[in-house]
Structure 1
Amino acid sequence: MVHDVIVVGAGMFGSAAAKYLGRAGADTLIVGPAEPQRLDAAVGLPDFGAHYDESRIARCLGWDRFWGTADTRSTARYRDIEAESGIGFFTECGSLALVSAAQGDRTEAMLRAAGDDGVAVERMPAAELRREFPALRAPSLTGGVEGLLERKDAGRLDPRRLVRAQLELALSSGARLVRGAVTSLHRQERTGHWKVRVQDDDGGFHAEAETVLLATGSLINHSDALPARHAVDLQVFTEPNLLFEVADDHLDRLRHLPTVVIIDPDDTGDGNLSAYLIPPLRYPDGKWYARIGPAMQPVVRELRTAEEIHSWYAQQRITKEQSAFLNRMAHLLLPGLEPVSVREACCVVDKTRTRYPYIGHLDADRTLSVVVGGNGHGARGSDEIGRLAATVVLDEPWDFPVPRGTLAPVPARPDDTCRAGYLQPPFGLC
């Protein structure tokens, strides 16, 4: 059997793309490893997804036109995805960006773009922030701090449940899901079809398709699914997190806060205050945790090899330097925080050279495409990003306000010693 499309990767981008491919009538096979059963004991995992956590920030206010529109369009579909799949994943608790008053032009541009997309954003001075959110303390930023608050259609989402919902809808649209890892991919000269070798629990098998879409995430350049000489310019970084267990007597004070992101434009190295806060939510162990993470520059480090990536993720241990920064930010944002316990958590974040996802063909061959590069923003906009990837695969008209070429994959440069300033602020809204 020759499929129309094989989607390699069953995470946030791959599941969404497969849904739209199936709805368009394409015979679609999705290949991706099963989610690990114990997320805190990932030693030995050959593959993982960046969505293996309980929450991501959901918002519509974007750093620029691409991210704002992708996030707004995706968010507008959340409730339909939940209703159609029967799987809830979105909590509307609001989202707050704390920005430097010194970046006025950038803030004005974001607000104009939000207005064009019909997104309601309240601009709040520091005094108003203190009145509305007494449990939250805003940091001192250059020129003062102001808040950009989205009350509606913003909050947090459970990325694992979102992926399950998208896969459910893909399957209901006729797609087929196989749990396994792709160990080889090559084009057959005689037929022109792509032949994919899949390793699964039963040993493995081959599948064929006219077209392949690679949605393999941060490990794309280390994936057996990537044909030789097709590496893309994508760098992978540590994503250290601390989970602060909140006692019952502090829960009511903190659980109704919005999600928070701090945008510090100053290039002060690890002294930069860019970070994010997800207010307390119940984790699978039954406990309530508030989560703090950095927004790129502070204590974030590059991972250059597959071994480094696997080791970072598998050990689930952050460095003392990272722990010190995240503890400092937690107590800065939440004065009086006295956690019952503190857990470490490790994920990864990838950055493309363009700062946008790569959505397009890897070369002149229009039968091999890619959708990777969440850039720290990917979860909330994943439905629209998947839809755009399906548009490319199906060669349908482009219907997005950012030109398609803007998202074209950039080939890796093996001799490039310049890391393109990936860690330099401003970082955008994580």
Structure 2
Amino acid sequence: MSAITRRTILMAGAGAGAVLTAPGSARETTGQADIIVVGAGVFGAWTATHLQRAGKKVTLVDAWGPAHSRASSGGESRMTRAAYGPDAIYARMAWESLAEWKALSARAELPVFHRSGVLFFFGQEEPYVVQSLEVHRALGLPTERLEPAELRRRFPQMAWDGVALGLYEPDFGALMARRAVQVLVAEFVKAGGRYEQAAIAPPEASGDRLGGIRTSGGEMLSAEHYAFTCGPWLPKLFPDVLGRRIFPTRQEVFFFAPEAGDDRFSPAHLPGWADFNQGDIFYGFPDLEGRGFKIAHDAHGIAVDPDRNERTHTPEALAEVRAYMRRRFPALAERPLAEARVCQYENSANGDFLIDRHPRWNNVLLVGGGSGHGFKHGPAVGRYAAALLTGTLARPEPRFSLASKGEKEARAVH
């Protein structure tokens, strides 16, 4: 599905009895859904999908549309990898999610997953390397440790000065983010799910349960349970609970045009990559689908309001990535900028996800804190959230609890 818009979602759902409504329609939906999921990004789309697979009647709501341009899920590409140092929980979730991404890609008209491989490299023997390899061995992953001579042989288009070793994950690669979410939502609607495009007011409840949510057009949407998967909008919808626990930050991403005929930076010759750089990570992708060589600095930017953030890149950020390319990708350092994007992370204090019930409303689930690494885990997050909502979760993960979320940023998950 090469261009999935709200209109194509409507058309996909028409033959399956799905109901969609236009923004602003005055209508009560009480009793028409078991669960309402607010936010049609990667976490929301997979949560709705897993709930639907469990036999629930689900309504999925978004203010602008699945993976829209302001959403954290609305970018061109996202990395999927299992290198997480000591954080085995995220390695497992990435590996479990990969099968779902591959299956979705096989069903889609255009690829959702590109198996380009992923290469992490390091200036020294970090504990992160040893711990990642231990976790990968336990999971049975075919991760390779590459010494400098092997890095130079396999990837001569890169400069390897100061690099001590690399970790190569051949089974992972790139997810086409916006396309993936839109395909998934179209499948959800075709299978009988309900999608509504509507802005939601901050919810209010007088007791221990939320009775409904009101749209900006005055419509009341009601269900037995609610999941809010709104990314950087979570602090705005729940300021008292999450206003000091989820931190939306500005991120800048750049795409450069390789020289005509130069295929050294194509997926056939260059994997997705990340320079660990003692935790100050730069990362990027080969020239996927002719969009250009992608590069970004994986550092938390300035705090932003997702509704007011101007999506214009800064000269300083562009200069920073060009300086990095002179060191690692000299053939691309002065190539023309093909495209720049400004998006956002929504960070928890340390990078762990939030998947937990509202502290007062027992029929409300809060899902967020993707923290710049969440997209790849979408299928596993959705499965966990659906199990928590339906009461089938065997054992809650303490790291995903609201109680574990601090109010001061101290990034620990890489």
Q: TM-score, normalised by structure 1?
A: 0.81
> Which residue among 47, 56, 61 is the counterpart of 1:26?
56
Residues 311 and 185 of structure 1: CA distance in aligned 2, closer, same or farther (over 3 Å): closer
Structure 2 residue 222 is the aligned partner of structure 1 residue 208: yes
> Which residue among 230, 249, 252 is the counterpart of 2:261?
249
Structure 2 residue 166 is the aligned partner of structure 1 residue 147: yes
Q: How does 1:201-350 map to 2 (within 5 A)?
A: 203=217, 205-223=219-237, 226=238, 228-229=240-241, 231=243, 233-256=245-268, 257-265=270-278, 272=280, 274-282=281-289, 288-296=291-299, 300-303=300-303, 306=305, 309-312=306-309, 314-318=310-314, 320-337=315-332, 338-350=334-346
Shift of 1:84: 4.6
In structure 1, the residue corresponding to 2:188 is in which secondary structure? helix
Shift of 1:115: 1.8
Q: Deviations over 1:139-189 (max 9, x none)?
A: 52xxx421100112x110101111122213322443211012112423366
Q: Which residue of the partner structure matches residue 386 of structure 2?
A: 390
Rounded to whole Å, the distance in 2 between the matches of 1:33 and 1:9 is: 8
Structure 1 segments (4+ residues) deviating >6 Å: none
Residues 38 and 301 of structure 1: CA distance in aligned 2, closer, same or farther (over 3 Å): closer
Amino acid at match of 2:228: L
Rounded to whole Å, the distance in 2 between the matches of 1:229 and 1:406 is: 17
Rounded to whole Å, the distance in 1 between the matches of 2:243 and 2:144 is: 42
Rounded to whole Å, the distance in 2 between the matches of 1:181 and 1:239 is: 24
Residue pair 1:34, 1:180 contacting (<8 A) in 2 also: yes
Rounded to whole Å, the distance in 2 between the matches of 1:20 and 1:185 is: 24
Residue pair 1:216, 1:372 contacting (<8 A) in 2 also: yes
Rounded to whole Å, the distance in 2 between the matches of 1:235 and 1:193 is: 25
Q: How does 1:182-201 map to 2 (within 5 A)?
A: 182-187=200-205, 192=209, 194-199=211-216
Residue pair 1:246, 1:339 contacting (<8 A) in 2 also: yes
Residues 87 and 195 of structure 1: CA distance in aligned 2, closer, same or farther (over 3 Å): farther
Structure 2 residue 376 is the aligned partner of structure 1 residue 353: no
Amino acid at match of 1:294: H
> Which residue among 107, 110, 119 is the counterpart of 1:96?
119
Structure 2 residue 410 is the aligned partner of structure 1 residue 421: yes
Q: Which residue of the partner structure matches residue 14 of structure 2?
A: none
Q: How does 1:23-62 map to 2 (within 5 A)?
A: 23-35=53-65, 39=69, 48-62=70-84
Amino acid at match of 1:59: R
Residues 58 and 37 of structure 1: CA distance in aligned 2, closer, same or farther (over 3 Å): closer
Q: Which residue of the partner structure matches residue 269 of structure 1?
A: none
Rounded to whole Å, the distance in 2 between the matches of 1:38 and 1:238 is: 16
Residues 373 and 288 of structure 1: CA distance in aligned 2, closer, same or farther (over 3 Å): same
In structure 2, the residue corresponding to 1:101 is in which secondary structure? coil
> Which residue among 87, 98, 109 is the counterpart of 2:131?
109
Amino acid at match of 1:301: G
Q: Which residue of the partner structure matches residue 43 of structure 1?
A: none
In structure 1, the residue corresponding to 2:292 is in which secondary structure? strand
Residues 88 and 211 of structure 1: CA distance in aligned 2, closer, same or farther (over 3 Å): same
In structure 2, the residue corresponding to 1:265 is in which secondary structure? helix
Rounded to whole Å, the distance in 2 between the matches of 1:277 and 1:134 is: 17
Shift of 1:37: 11
Shift of 1:227: 7.0
Residue pair 2:227, 2:367 contacting (<8 A) in 1 also: yes
Q: Which runs of 5+ in 2 are unaligned?
A: 1-29
Structure 2 residue 375 is the aligned partner of structure 1 residue 379: yes
Amino acid at match of 1:25: G
Residue pair 1:9, 1:214 contacting (<8 A) in 2 also: yes
Q: Which residue of the partner structure matches residue 127 of structure 1?
A: 149
In structure 2, the residue corresponding to 1:276 is in which secondary structure? strand
Rounded to whole Å, the distance in 2 between the matches of 1:38 and 1:208 is: 24
Amino acid at match of 1:16: W
In structure 2, the residue corresponding to 1:250 is in which secondary structure? coil
Q: Deviations over 1:284-335 (max 9, x none)?
A: xxx5411110121xxx4330x52xx4443x33222x3322211111232212
Amino acid at match of 2:198: G
Q: Deviations over 1:27-71 (max 9, x none)?
A: 2111003349995xxxxxxxx211222111122333311210111
Shift of 1:261: 0.5
Q: Which residue of the partner structure matches residue 401 of structure 2?
A: 408
Identity %: 21
Rounded to whole Å, the distance in 1 between the matches of 2:390 and 2:213 is: 20
Residues 390 and 36 of structure 1: CA distance in aligned 2, closer, same or farther (over 3 Å): closer
Rounded to whole Å, the distance in 1 between the matches of 2:112 and 2:230 is: 22
Structure 2 residue 183 is the aligned partner of structure 1 residue 165: yes
Q: Deviations over 1:246-285 (max 9, x none)?
A: 232223454430000011227xxxxx5x200211123xxx
Amino acid at match of 1:8: V
Shift of 1:21: 0.6
Shift of 1:341: 3.4
Q: TM-score, normalised by structure 2?
A: 0.84
Q: Deviations over 1:106-144 (max 9, x none)?
A: 21111111122221101001111000111122352xxx4
